[in-house]
A = this chain, B = another copy of it.
Amino acid sequence: MATQAGRKRVVVVGGGFAGLHAVMGLARLPVEITLVDRRNYHLFQPLLYQVALAVLSPAEIAQPIRSIVRAYPNVEVLMDEVLGFDTTERTVHLRSNAKLEYDYLILATGSTHSYFGRDEWAKLAPGLKTIEDATEIRRRVLLAFELAERQMLETGSHPPLNFVIIGGGPTGVELAGAISDITKLYMARDFRHINPSEAKVMILEGSPSILGMYPPELQAKARAQLAALGVSMRTGAHVTDVQPGYVMIGEERIDAVVTLWAAGVQASPLGKLLGVPTDRRGCVLVDQHLNPPGFTEIFVCGDLAHVEQDGKQVPGVAQPAMQMGDYVARRIARLMAREHGSDGTGVEQGFRYFDKGDMATIGRKAAVAKITWPFHAKWSGFAAWLTWLVVHIYFLIGFRNRIAVFWKWAWTYLTFVDGARLITGSQELPGWESQAGVQRFAADQPLDIASPKTR
């Protein structure tokens, strides 16, 4: 694509909700856009936990970025990684050694897990941010049942099927509900020696309450719905260590055949690479136009931006990310119009997050929803779950996926059949030690408690 002389060059880094919305908003302007992402696909992250729990396949919640923007001849996609910026020369440096010049730069690289400085926990307790994370969680949860079945057949006992989720925000609650569901509904009849419905799911939350961002009455509803699914919750529980097969809360040890991480997030390191002020999680402090101080040509959107509104930080979820992307596109259009002497209208007063509400699902047919548009309401239970379903299908980018996901959900819901339960990759699990080639849960019991038994 030859750059048309005189056209403004916009570089967008990150193909998530914020970056894509910015690109879509800008694509009809006379600008040349380059979208850089390390991945070749856009991921519909709100449904990632359904991949982790084997309800959906990765391709159903991901769409190649090239096919999303294919219709726009002025949008170029690069699968590459940003290594640095020169804000004086206005260039972006890529891993491939190429430099991209920009007139406007939009950064929307989101966030990743934070293990609070204990990065060695990452292998023991995977989090849920990428497709690789999701298939790794799927592998671990499913494999735990298979290994327990094997051990039961051989020794007549198996470790307690404790699934421990560290973190009680929306992701932790969704994972807990989904694990509980698949063990009780889909796997119950699948094993002969172990009873998957005996599996226990536990949420460990450091703060005083789960789903802390929701109103207290919805928190209470969520607690009740989780308890009905058999999920136990510990609040004020600060995890002090994660080990193969167990976690520690101070002196207390909690056994876990699988441990998952849903506790902390930190911003992508690109904010710091830019050399502008960030908050303690690495989010870039921006003004009302989403500019970092001193740079009217640089915009930061989505989870990477620290935006305060009415005394609270705008949350790092999909809705504000989309709205920020839209805003930046409008703002750039306005700046360009002003350069050409036009009045323009509108976006002088700055970005304002319009909160339509929040939702978190709890298993197969319950959810909590705080709705603020088009009317105010607090819902829980099945109605909230249906709302969640419709909203999420509606926002799934890509028509084919929308239909396929709906069909799969309907089918799974009606039949309890679940066809994405594939264990791919390695067959090792932390806590299950290989001794002489035999994998046994070694974290909480001696290996010789029972004499080997044949059927």
Contact = CB atoms under 8 A, between A and B. Distances in A.
A276 interface: no
A218 to B, nearest CB: 34
A421 to B, nearest CB: 4
A422 B404 CA distance: 17
A58 interface: yes
Interface in A214-233: none
A427 B95 CA distance: 12
Nearest to A40: B423
B454 A101 contact: yes
Nearest to A146: B79
B150 A99 contact: no
A417 B70 CA distance: 11
Interface string A408-452: 100100010111111111010000000001110000000000001
A98 B454 contact: yes
A438 B41 contact: no
A445 to B, nearest CB: 16
A100 B453 CA distance: 10
A314 B9 CA distance: 63
B419 A64 contact: yes
B419 A59 contact: yes
A62 interface: yes
Contacts of A400: 408, 411, 415, 417, 419
Given A407-B403, A438-B97, A189 B422 contact: no
A96 interface: yes
Interface residues of A, number: 74
**Looking at A1, A189, A400, which has the most chain B CB atoms within 10 Å of its CB?**
A400
A97 B425 CA distance: 22
B404 A455 contact: no
A109 interface: no
A191 to B, nearest CB: 7
A419 B58 CA distance: 10
A193 B142 CA distance: 43
A98 B437 contact: no
Contacts of A190: 64, 66-67, 70, 77
Contact of A422 (B3, B59, B193, B439): B59
Q: Is the interface of A mostly helix, strand, loop or mixed?
A: mixed
Contacts of A63: 419
Contacts of A308: none
A64 B411 contact: no
**Looking at A99, A419, A421, which has the most chain B CB atoms within 10 Å of its CB?**
A419
B1 A40 contact: no
Contacts of A454: 91, 98-101
Interface string A375-408: 0000000000000000000000010110110011
Contacts of A149: 78-79
A131 B401 CA distance: 21
A24 interface: no
A358 interface: no
Contacts of A100: 454-455
A29 interface: no
Interface string A141-158: 010001001110110000
A70 to B, nearest CB: 6
| Shortest beta-carbon contacts, A-B, top 8 | A59-B420, A66-B190, A1-B192, A57-B57, A96-B150, A79-B146, A98-B154, A57-B59
Given A41-B423, A79-B146, 17 more contacts: A1-B193, A9-B455, A40-B421, A64-B419, A64-B421, A67-B190, A78-B153, A95-B438, A96-B438, A97-B438, A97-B452, A98-B153, A100-B454, A131-B424, A135-B424, A398-B419, A400-B411
15 contacts: A38-B427, A39-B423, A40-B421, A40-B422, A63-B419, A64-B421, A67-B417, A67-B419, A76-B192, A77-B192, A79-B146, A91-B454, A98-B154, A131-B424, A403-B407
